[in-house]
Amino acid sequence: MNNAVALHPWQRANHLTSRNNQLMIDGINACELVEQYGSPLYVFSEAKLRENATDILTNFRRVHPNTTVCFASKANANVAVLQILKEAGLSIEINSGGEFVKAQTAGYTAQAMVFNGVAKLRSELELVIAAEIKAINVDSLAELERILSVAQAIDKCANVTLRIIPEIKGGAAAGWETGTSSSKFGMTREEQLTAIGWINQHPEHLTMTGIHAHIGTQVNDTSAYQKEAEFLIAYAQEVGKLLPYPLKHINLGGGYPKNYSSSADNWVNVSPHYQDTYRANIGFDTIADILIRPVANALGSNIEIIVEPGRSMVSDTAILLSTIEARKTRQQKPVFYLDAGYSVLFDIFAGWYFHMVNASKSDDTATQLCRMAGPLCDSSDTFYDIEGEGRVKALLAIMPELGEQRATLEQVLVQQPSLR
């Protein structure tokens, strides 16, 4: 088991507080929520969602007013979350037909949607082309061929943005790097030249609205953003000479870092690898100056800059409320059994960054080491050793930093069709 990590401070001034020794989220008593709705229960903070949206919009539009922020709904496609972010001023990036339907349900217009993905279905393309969404981010020549076929079949003109491989390493882990030819994403320069030729040959059914790149996720390296800006400026200028009309937008992707710890002392027992992976050294103010500003300065005020943040909008907005249903003593330590396991919280395996708090005694000081386990018939369904109360049966525990993907991951990941 992992060593215990420090539990404090867990409070967030605007949405996670304590009142009369009870956990409050957006001013609502967490224990009362469980009494009303049962557990396990994910609870999202509307205040924090709006705060995150305002943070990125304010900073990016400070340097380029013509910036569109498209929330990457793969991070969390809960319709209520999507509605709040829409009200806060965000557009949306979808990754499947299911997310397209959810975006419509949440009230997003077609012109507020961009469509990502490496294996878009024909049926999905029929939906988005018929709706005339803002842009389809094209990942391959095979996809462009399919888009053209669909557009011809339904006699529509598809708005396409070509995803280029910038050959820039970004992301805190190898699996999070999406900007090199070793990843599964994007097109080479040669493939894009072929694609532009196709687009120019079929102006009645294909319009190239922009170029797109995404270098990875949880990117803290400022030089990676600087390289991305330099690459896309030069490439946009090159592509502009090949088209009979100007590009409308440059899509810079997302991948902005987020802290997965509420307190510096939570890093004491965490390896350097995880420290680099799960913390943010830069904020939107810095990213605005090193990424957005140079692109805007080089390409002008008329160019629309699109960004696609996901985790940075939602990862710190939710808590999981879980009830302790049973207790044992093993090796002179209490073991508490929660009603939430990895079927509810898949990232239990990286459990060090989940901060457990007794929602019914949120101001109490930890008194002893204990173990927290889930209900599943699997020995790995165990959280970690933690300094917790361990004194009263049927306590409530919360685990902050859960907003992105967790609430929908085990239901249907990014709303892909079910197996047949």
Please give the positions annotated as active site: 377
Encoding tokens for residue 153? 């079949």
For residue 251, with 0-12 CB atoms within 10 Å meaning exposed, 13-18 middle and 19 or more buried, which class applies? buried
Q: Are 67 and 61 in contact (CB under 8 A)?
A: yes
What span, in angstroms and rounded, lies between the C-alpha atoms of 407 and 323?
17
Nearest Cα residue to 305 out of 101, 120, 69? 69
Structure tokens of 349?
């395996």
- DSSP structure class, residue 292: I
Report the half-sphere exposure of 252 (CA within 13 A, side-chain side).
32
- Pair type for strands 368-373 and 333-338: parallel
Residue with structure tokens 């979350």?
Answer: 81
For residue 337, the surrounding DSSP H or E stretch is strand 333-338
Please name the residues in contact with 28: beta carbons below 8 A apart, sequence gap of 6 or more: none
CA distance 144 to 136: 10
Hey, CA dihedral for 81, 83, 84, 86, is it positive or negative? Answer: positive
* Six token digits for residue 223: 């030089």
Residue 319, SS3?
A: strand
CA distance 251 to 323: 43
**According to the 3-state scheme, what is the secondary structure of 216-248?**
ECCCCCHHHHHHHHHHHHHHHHHHHCCCCCCCC
Distance CA 152, CA 138 (A): 17
